[in-house]
């Protein structure tokens, strides 16, 4: 439709159809309303012209995109991005020429990247996912997209066309995984090909439109040296954690949402020796291990008939029959905590997991609740004894007010005294202030106490210098 025709179709436009003729004598037009001095009457149809002008690029993009999709070879392998880009580029240039569209180079390239993202990527948010500075993408309906950069949340100018556009992107994410998100199952957890975690929820549960949350994983694997550089741990603390993993301590990484638990879990897993069989159990596969002997297991939701679900607990029980040297559970959030603790107590030492909790003490309390969720009628004292004998170390991770992630406590679980779980802090993060840019200042400080199970480190042939437990403080 031409611009003139579009204007004619808008009520109140410049070329609106005249009213039908009246049979009586024409009435005199009403006198114009008085206007203040200096008032300039707007030209009729300006609003319609402005709206049409804004719609034109959108219509052009839709036309070109529709033709591209129709003319693309359906057998084209969309995983070969270089080839797809080359093919789409040729078709794109040909279609623009046939449509007689002359665009400035910048607009031409912007439209091409946008269309390419719709065909082989994740639409408007693909550019955000390709940005290494972005750690999280949050779509709050079609017209609000936030990102997290260096721990700070900011609103972007990225927009979707409508709710259906967002739903198409959700479907593109989850369809390769065999999962679904519809009215009967309006929420879903999934992952991207690079391991980034995805959660999607749609109406009627999401009142403002389909919502997507993507927590990106860094393209390059992180090591303990990176955490030291970022100030998340000190060199001494990093050395102790390496020794603890190699000495087969059972370790729980505790922290709140977005505190960096999974990243720290991946770093700790990198210390596991190459000659050990590692089995990971997760809701969405996020582990990034480099060891050769690594088996990955992932839970499965029920199908549309409510059948076929395989829970984390099912997988943990099955793992015990797979001859593991180390069991790594992405997150304990239910009855699987009981099976994990039993595994730790029956020869599968050196296991690692994460738990949502705000402090090491809260972590043990949370484990008690999770064990109760298994449905076993166990006395609280028995549960606490199992936890105190199974867990050796709690590493507390926290997202600070400036967006940085730091290990704030490394706490040893030493056993029971009466009905109480006894714990001892080995390392603490001590905040000393905030600089003019709002950055948290502080240092990791050893408490001067050696772990009660130091003998395990010595039996593993690892010699830690005394400085690790109190020979100096490193400031970040």
pLDDT, one tens digit per residue, over 227-256 is 999 999 999 999 999 999 999 999 999 999
Check residue 450 and give its pLDDT. 92
Query: SS3 string of the chain?
Result: CCHHHHHHHCCCCCCCCCCCCCCCCCCCCCCCCCCCCCCCCCCCCHHHHHHHHHHHHHHHHHHHHHHHHHHCCCCCCCCCHHHHHHHHHHHHHHHHHHHCCCCCHHHHHHHHHHHHHHHHCCHHHHHHHHCCCEEEEEEECCCCEEEEECCEEEECCCCCCCHHHHHHHHHHHHHHHCCCCCCCCCEEEEECCCCCEEEEECCCCCCCCCEEEEECCCCCCCCHHHHHHHCCCCHHHHHHHHHHHHCCCCEEEEECCCCCHHHHHHHHHCCCCCCCCEEEEECCCCCCCCCCCEEEEECECCCCCCCCCECHHHHHHHHCCCCCCEEEECCCCCCHHHHHHHHHHCCCCCCEEEEECCCHHHHHHHHHHHHHCCCCCCCHHHHHHHHHHHCCEEEEEEECCCCCEEEEEEEEEEEEECCEEEEEEEEEEEEEEECCCCCEEEEEEECCCCCCCHHHHHHCCCCCCHHHHCCCCEEC
Between residues 259 and 115, which one has the greater pLDDT? 259
With beta carbons less than 8 A apart as the criterion, state whether 240 and 426 touch.
yes
Check residue 45 and give its pLDDT. 47
Cα gap 400→196, rounded to integer Å: 22
For residue 86, the number of C-alpha atoms closer than 13 Å in the C-beta half-sphere is 7
Specify the pairing of strand 251-255 against strand 211-215.
unpaired
Cα gap 355→5, rounded to integer Å: 62
Sign of the dihedral through C-alpha 317, 323, 325, 328: negative
Cα angle 379, 380, 382 (rounded to 5 degrees) comes to 70
Per the DSSP assignment, residues forming a β-bridge with 190 are 198
Cα gap 40→37, rounded to integer Å: 9
Check residue 371 and give its pLDDT. 94
pTM reported for the whole predicted model: 0.75
Check residue 166 and give its pLDDT. 93
To the nearest whole percent, how much of the chain has pLDDT over 70?
85
Between residues 272 and 52, which one has the greater pLDDT? 272
Check residue 56 and give its pLDDT. 56
Check residue 112 and give its pLDDT. 82
Cα gap 423→441, rounded to integer Å: 27
Query: What are the tens digits of pLDDT across the range 60-117?
Result: 777 777 777 677 766 666 667 778 788 888 888 888 878 777 778 888 888 888 877 7
Tokens at 69, concatenated: 């999709």
The closest of 251, 181, 261 to 393, measured between CA atoms, is: 251
Check residue 68 and give its pLDDT. 74
With beta carbons less than 8 A apart as the criterion, state whether 445 and 427 touch.
yes
Check residue 268 and give its pLDDT. 95
pLDDT band at residue 58 under the 50/70/90 scheme = low
Check residue 475 and give its pLDDT. 38
Judged against a pLDDT cut of 80, whether residue 219 lies above it is answered with no
Specify the pairing of strand 326-329 against strand 352-356.
parallel
Looking at residues 308-332, what average pLDDT do you find? 92
């Amino acid at each position: 439709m031409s611009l003139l025709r579009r204007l004619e179709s808008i009520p109140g436009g410049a070329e609106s159809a005249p009213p039908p003729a009246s049979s009586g004598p024409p009435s005199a037009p009403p006198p114009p309303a008085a206007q203040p001095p200096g008032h300039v009457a707007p030209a009729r149809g300006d609003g319609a012209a402005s709206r049409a002008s804004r719609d034109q690029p959108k219509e052009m993009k839709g036309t070109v995109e529709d033709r591209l999709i129709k003319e693309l070879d359906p057998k084209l392998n969309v995983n070969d991005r270089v080839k797809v880009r080359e093919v789409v580029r040729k078709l794109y240039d040909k279609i623009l020429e046939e449509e007689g569209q002359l665009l400035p180079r910048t607009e031409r390239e912007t439209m091409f990247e946008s269309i390419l993202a719709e065909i082989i990527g994740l639409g408007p948010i693909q550019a955000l996912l390709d940005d290494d500075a972005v750690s999280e993408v949050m779509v709050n309906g079609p017209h609000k997209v936030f990102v997290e950069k260096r721990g700070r949340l900011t609103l972007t100018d990225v927009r979707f066309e409508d709710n259906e556009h967002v739903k198409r992107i959700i479907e593109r994410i989850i369809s390769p995984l065999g999962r679904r998100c519809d009215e009967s199952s309006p929420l879903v957890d999934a992952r991207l090909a690079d391991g980034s975690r995805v959660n999607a929820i749609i109406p009627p549960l999401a009142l403002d439109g389909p919502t997507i949350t993507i927590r990106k994983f860094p393209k390059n694997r992180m090591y303990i040296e990176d955490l030291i550089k970022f100030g998340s741990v000190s060199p001494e603390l990093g050395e102790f954690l390496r020794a603890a993993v190699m000495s087969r301590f059972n370790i729980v990484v505790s922290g709140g949402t977005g505190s960096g638990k999974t990243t720290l879990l991946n770093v700790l897993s990198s210390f596991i020796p190459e000659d050990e069989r590692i089995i990971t159990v997760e809701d969405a596969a996020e582990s990034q291990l480099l060891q050769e002997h690594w088996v990955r297991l992932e839970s499965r939701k029920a199908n549309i008939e409510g059948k076929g679900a395989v829970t984390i607990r099912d997988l943990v029980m099955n793992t015990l029959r797979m001859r593991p040297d180390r069991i790594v559970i992405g997150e304990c959030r239910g009855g699987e905590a009981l099976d994990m603790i039993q595994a730790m107590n029956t020869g599968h030492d050196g296991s690692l997991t994460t738990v949502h909790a705000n402090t090491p003490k809260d972590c043990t309390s949370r484990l008690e609740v999770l064990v109760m969720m298994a449905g076993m009628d166990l006395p609280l004292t028995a549960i606490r004894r199992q936890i105190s004998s199974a867990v050796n170390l709690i590493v507390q991770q926290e997202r600070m007010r400036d967006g940085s992630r730091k290990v704030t406590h490394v706490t040893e679980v030493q056993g029971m005294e009466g009905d109480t779980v006894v714990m001892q802090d080995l390392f603490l993060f001590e905040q000393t202030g905030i600089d003019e840019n709002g950055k948290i200042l502080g240092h990791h400080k050893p408490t001067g106490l050696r772990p009660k199970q130091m003998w395990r480190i010595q039996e593993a042939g690892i010699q830690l210098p005394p400085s690790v437990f109190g020979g100096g403080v490193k400031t970040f």
